[in-house]
Amino acid sequence: MKELNEKNFEDEINKDKLVIVDFWAEWCMPCRMLAPVLEKLEKEYDGKVEFAKLNTDENPVIASKFGIFSIPTVIMFYQGKVINAFVGAMPESAVKHEIEKALEKISA
């Protein structure tokens, strides 16, 4: 997963494909539970969807801009716009369901 920061964030979310951003922090246990799920799905979607992560402790301005109060928060972007989001660690099937919902929105 690509590591995002204040320098590359805007460029990375403004793409013509679904970009999934995991807002996380090192100390967050649910974040550590969600990370392997997202890494597995990144392989499964094989470039159809882009996966990235942003450390909220290191990038508080961006976290604040998107109203991140609880982590992990996952926000899905398409051409810079928020398409879907969820908060908390979820099982793979639930995460995949959220990704599919977002893909349906952008292909409609």
The domain that holds 7 is classified in CATH as 3.40.30.10
Number of domains in the chain: 1
Please identify which of the residues 13, 19, 21, 31 carries the catalytic annotation: 31
CA pair distance 54, 62, nearest whole angstrom: 9
Q: Are strands 73-78 and 2-4 parallel, antiparallel or unpaired?
A: unpaired
31 is catalytic: yes
The reported pTM is 0.96
Per-residue pLDDT tens for 43-99? Answer: 999 999 999 999 999 999 999 999 999 999 999 999 999 999 999 999 999 999 999
Q: What range does the domain containing 76 cover? A: 2-107
52 is catalytic: no
Please identify which of the residues 13, 20, 21, 28 carries the catalytic annotation: 28
Per-residue pLDDT tens for 22-40? Answer: 999 999 999 999 999 999 9
Residue 12 and residue 2 in contact, taking contact as beta carbons nearer than 8 Å: yes
